A and B are shown apart, each in its own frame.
Chain A
Amino acid sequence: DAGITQSPRHKVTETGTPVTLRCHQTENHRYMYWYRQDPGHGLRLIHYSYGVKDTDKGEVSDGYSVSRSKTEDFLLTLESATSSQTSVYFCAISDQGPGQSNEQFFGPGTRLTVL
């Protein structure tokens, strides 16, 4: 795996609580992404970052916020978790941005369950 870790790997939480997932990379790639994966939907982009403090929304950004204060870390926050946010969350990195015909490398995933 290309130097990407996610924490925690598993989390169970209750509706209405805040949750933060962390993605850490050691590849010094400029671009970082958060996806969620649900049965029947494949991977869907939540937010991505194109540099420190530079982020943009993806296809399913409602209910999520992100922050990137350092090149190596990209945080995904659920301000008030809902059961519909139960999913497997993947972080990905790439050294060139969307539309530049480049592959993304994925982290191991975080399984989040919201009760």
Chain B
Amino acid sequence: EDKVVQSPLSLVVHEGDTVTLNCSYEVTNFRSLLWYKQEKKAPTFLFMLTSSGIEKKSGRLSSILDKKELFSILNITATQTGDSAVYLCAVERSNDMRFGAGTRLTVKP
């Protein structure tokens, strides 16, 4: 059965720390992997990755995909309290999108 597994499920850090969130997957007909940030309401798009080894970067956030080992990581450097959220990984297949359960990140002042 296809699955998307995120780890850790939750994480508490202090401002300024660097964090790495993990997403591993086993799916058929892989097309792309996406990361979303969800605060109190709707998930908002962060990155889409389709090729191995090419880092996507936006400010303090970056992400990379390994299609051979079937995982992706999301890095956040110099964390801020505004980074507190649930981070969702989603894998797009040929006919739908499968989401992981999410990692809840809490950044303390």
Contact = CB atoms under 8 A, between A and B. Distances in A.
Nearest to B48: A103
Contacts of A90: 42-43
Interface of B: 4, 29, 31-32, 34, 36, 41-45, 48, 50, 88, 90, 92-102
Interface residues of A, number: 24
A108 interface: yes
A107 B94 CA distance: 23
Nearest to A101: B32
Given A42-B102, A59-B98, A98-B96, 11 more contacts: A42-B99, A43-B43, A44-B99, A48-B96, A59-B96, A90-B42, A98-B92, A98-B93, A98-B95, A99-B94, A106-B44
A101 B95 CA distance: 11
Given A1-B42, A90-B42, A107-B42, A99 B99 contact: no
B92 A42 contact: no
A8 B43 CA distance: 18
